């Protein structure tokens, strides 16, 4: 089977071919063409278009094409599920999803810079994902320092030092400032850009992503923002007559189905059921 997508691949357009070859069709052929030619060439060559807008194999909500292939073809390999979060984080520039995402993006961008032939880039990239798969399969819980007794002892002492230092250290000033920035965004346009926020706070993005959960309820950046959005949605459901569609839009969700899924994940109920229960619990003020 032939598959076709736009030229100059970096993340999804190499990760997806690896996934297809590994779990769906080992003889699959992949073609890279200019963006404007993808759909016409797909018809001409009877190829499946992927990772472009308005085709089946594409991004959906916050997930990338790699995620869609995993779900579409019911791939349950635990290593692939680990990889999916890394690929998603690298492909959508949400490095808070997995600490390995920033590294995957850096290596992929570097390969694309060095290799100008897309087929050669694909062949090299497939080896990269073979390595990532082996790591996710056998080495996911192993640290680099575990192979050296001396290094392990040094790491243990260092961790103890850090924990003691952390317990006596005051909350950094940037934490309060970041909370204000996030709250301002929650109340306005929901334009969360971790890189821009890092620049505003004069912090390294990797440092901010790594330290964030220590001061924000053990949640990563995306989880914390979604929590605040749901809290605002609950307040609007309880204290306004806005429709659920309006509330979904006002709390930064791209569509009502996405809003419903995240709301239920946080509260255990869908928004309509939550509103009915909230209405029943309000005191009856008629006749007063």
Q: What is the pLDDT of residues 18-44, one digit of tens each?
A: 999 999 999 999 999 999 999 999 999
Domains in the chain with CATH codes: 2-139 (no CATH), 147-216 (no CATH), 222-281 (1.10.10.60)
Q: What is the pLDDT of residues 158-210, one digit of tens each?
A: 666 566 555 555 777 777 777 766 766 655 555 566 677 777 788 887 787 77
Q: How far apart are CA 30 and CA 148, in angstroms?
A: 43
Query: Which residues, 6 or more positions from 213, have their beta carbon under 8 angstroms from its beta carbon?
Result: 219, 220
Q: Label residues 61-72 b or e (16+ Cβ within 10 Å = b).
A: eebbbbbbbbee
Task: Tokens 């619990």: give the residue.
Answer: 281
Phi and psi torsions of 204, nearest 5°: -70, 130
Ramachandran class of 94: left when φ > 0, alpha when ψ lies in -120 to 50, beta otherwise = beta
* Strands across the sheet containing 2-6: 29-33, 2-6, 47-49
Average confidence score pLDDT of the chain: 84
């Amino acid at each position: 089977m032939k598959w076709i997508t736009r030229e100059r691949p970096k993340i999804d357009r190499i990760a997806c071919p690896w996934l297809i070859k590994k779990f769906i069709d080992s003889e699959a052929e992949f073609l890279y063409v200019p963006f404007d030619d993808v759909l016409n060439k797909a018809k001409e060559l009877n190829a499946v278009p992927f990772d472009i807008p308005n085709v089946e194999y594409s991004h959906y909500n916050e997930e990338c094409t790699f995620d869609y292939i995993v779900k579409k073809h019911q791939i349950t390999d635990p290593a692939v599920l680990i990889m999916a979060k890394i690929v998603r984080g690298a492909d959508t520039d949400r490095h808070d999803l997995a600490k390995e995402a920033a590294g995957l993006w850096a290596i992929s961008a570097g390969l694309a810079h060095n290799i100008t032939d897309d087929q050669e880039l694909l062949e090299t990239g497939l080896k990269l994902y073979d390595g990532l798969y082996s790591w996710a399969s056998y080495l996911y819980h192993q640290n680099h320092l575990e192979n050296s007794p001396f290094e392990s002892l040094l790491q243990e002492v260092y961790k103890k030092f850090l924990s003691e230092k952390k317990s006596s250290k005051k909350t950094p000033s940037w934490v309060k400032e970041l909370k204000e920035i996030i709250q301002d965004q929650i109340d306005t346009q929901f334009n969360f850009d971790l890189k821009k926020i890092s620049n505003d706070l004069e912090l390294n993005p990797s440092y901010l992503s790594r330290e964030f959960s220590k001061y924000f309820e053990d949640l990563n950046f995306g989880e914390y923002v979604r929590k605040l959005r749901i809290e605002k949605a609950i307040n609007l459901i309880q204290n306004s007559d806005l429709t659920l569609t309006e509330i979904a839009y006002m709390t930064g969700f791209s569509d009502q189905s996405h809003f419903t899924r995240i709301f239920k994940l946080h509260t255990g109920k869908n928004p309509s059921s939550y509103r009915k229960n909230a209405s029943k619990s309000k005191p009856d003020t008629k006749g007063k």
